[in-house]
Amino acid sequence: MKKLIIFDLDGTILNTISDMTNSMNYLLNYLKASLITEDDMKGAMNKGRRYLIETALGRKISDEENSRYQKIYNDYYFSNKNILTKPYDGIVTLLDNLKNAGYLLAVCSNKLHNATAGLVEEIFPNTFDYVLGSSNKFSRKPHPEMLVHILQELDVNKDNTIYIGDTEADMKAASNADIYKIAALYGFGEKEKLLKHNPDAVVDKPEEIYDLVIKHFK
Domain shared by 46 and 149, yes or no = no
Q: How far apart are CA 70 and CA 177, in angstroms?
A: 29
Domain shared by 73 and 167, yes or no = no
Residue 186 is part of which domain span? 4-15+86-216
Strands 14-15 and 86-87: antiparallel
Domain shared by 112 and 204, yes or no = yes
Q: How far apart are CA 111 and CA 126, in angstroms?
A: 20
Domain shared by 120 and 99, yes or no = yes
Domain shared by 124 and 187, yes or no = yes
Domain shared by 136 and 111, yes or no = yes
Greatest Cα-to-Cα distance within the chain, rounded to the nearest angstrom: 56
Query: Domain ends where: 51, 79, 107?
Result: 79
pLDDT in tens, 82-138: 999 999 999 999 999 999 999 999 999 999 999 999 999 999 999 999 999 999 999
The count of C-alpha atoms lying within 13 angstroms of the C-alpha of 40, restricted to the half-sphere facing its C-beta, is: 15
Number of structural domains the chain divides into: 2
Supply the pLDDT for residue 52. Answer: 85
Domain shared by 67 and 110, yes or no = no
Residue 45's pLDDT band (cuts 50, 70, 90)? confident
Domain shared by 10 and 34, yes or no = no
Q: How far apart are CA 87 and CA 16, in angstroms?
A: 9
Q: How far apart are CA 112 and CA 132, in angstroms?
A: 9
